[in-house]
Amino acid sequence: MRTLQNLRAIAAKEGISTGGQKAQLEERIHWHRKFNLNSTKVQPLRPVLPLDATEFTEAEEYKQCDKNLQQSLRWLSTVQIWSYFVSRSARHGYGKGKQLKQAAFLRNICYAQINNETFQVRGYCGATMRKSTMYLLRLEHNTEAITKTSCTCPAGQGNSAACKHIAALLMALEEFARTGHLQQNQTCTDVLQTWHRPPKHTDRSMMYRPLKDIFKDNHSDRLPQIIDLPLNDLHKQMMNNSLNRGMHMTIHRSRYVMDMRNYFAEHSYAKNTISDATDPCAPGNSDNDAGWKNDT
């Protein structure tokens, strides 16, 4: 079992800090050996060719990205882009450029073929803090590597730019070379108009048909049947269905049976549903008068 003194001796021999407790020293030595931090071997991702110091060639005609450009970018990959930024100590530009590309800050990406092997790509990228500011991006490449890059932002001056705007352009080109889709911000005139078009799922046979053809079946068997009831039965049915079931609870509670004549007089729709002959509360009724006399 290793003691604290043995661990400190091993740490001093391997060039590790000897401070801390025993558990900390054991963990420090373990991770130091696991990642081989004492190794002096350098394994580059991919050798980067030196960029051309000459100025950009002025292209006469630019055109939209097509299969010709896609074929010339078959060599481009995420490893190549990462190696490009690592060799220029601009790793932060790689991460921020990925966010710009996903947020569709790129616009008007086009290319021009200088000769059989050289292509020049041009585009614009919006500034993150100023929406009205657009940076011009230019990139030249051959069939196997990037030769020149330039951006009009403060960090992209020269022919070896490694800013986040160049990273966004390279990632968009890598996706275009792999899938054939170029992600950029499209303007309102880049797509066809969406108005003056009929709906896709409209049945045209139903647009100009006469009503008699649309409603051919009258469905007379489904209509409610009207039953003629005598006045006495109609009065009882209305009392049972409306007043006793709570549909007119305020009226049912505020009026007594003796005051039903005033209720029917105030409501014209119910005025003809009862007659004096069938009203048990009507004055002058012989049965009613006889009942009062018996009570007295």
CB count within 10 Å of CB 34 equals 8
Residue-wise pLDDT for 254-296, tens only, equals 444 455 666 666 655 555 554 444 455 555 544 444 444 444 4
Predicted local confidence at residue 288, as pLDDT: 46
Domain ranges of the chain: 63-179, 231-281
Residue-wise pLDDT for 182-207, tens only, equals 877 766 666 666 676 666 665 666 56
Predicted local confidence at residue 176, as pLDDT: 92
Average pLDDT over residues 141-160: 86
* pLDDT > 70? residue 243: no
Residues 6+ apart with CB under 8 A from 280: 257, 287, 288
Residues in the chain: 296
Give the global pTM: 0.48
Per residue, what are the HEC states of 21-45?
CHHHHHHHHHHHHHCCCCCCCCCCC
Per residue, what are the HEC states of 153-165?
CHHHCCCECCCHH
Nearest to 7 by CA among 38, 29, 33, 37: 29
Q: With contact defined as beta carbons under 8 Å apart, do 26 and 7 qualify?
A: yes
Predicted local confidence at residue 295, as pLDDT: 47
Rounded distance between C-alpha atoms, residue 94 and residue 98, angstroms: 6
Residue-wise pLDDT for 29-63, tens only, equals 888 777 666 654 444 455 555 555 567 777 778 88
Predicted local confidence at residue 208, as pLDDT: 66
- The pLDDT-based confidence of 169 (bands split at 50, 70, 90) is very high
Predicted local confidence at residue 291, as pLDDT: 44
- The pLDDT-based confidence of 121 (bands split at 50, 70, 90) is very high
212-223 as b/e: b if 16+ CB within 10 A: eeeeeeeeeeee
CB count within 10 Å of CB 100 equals 21
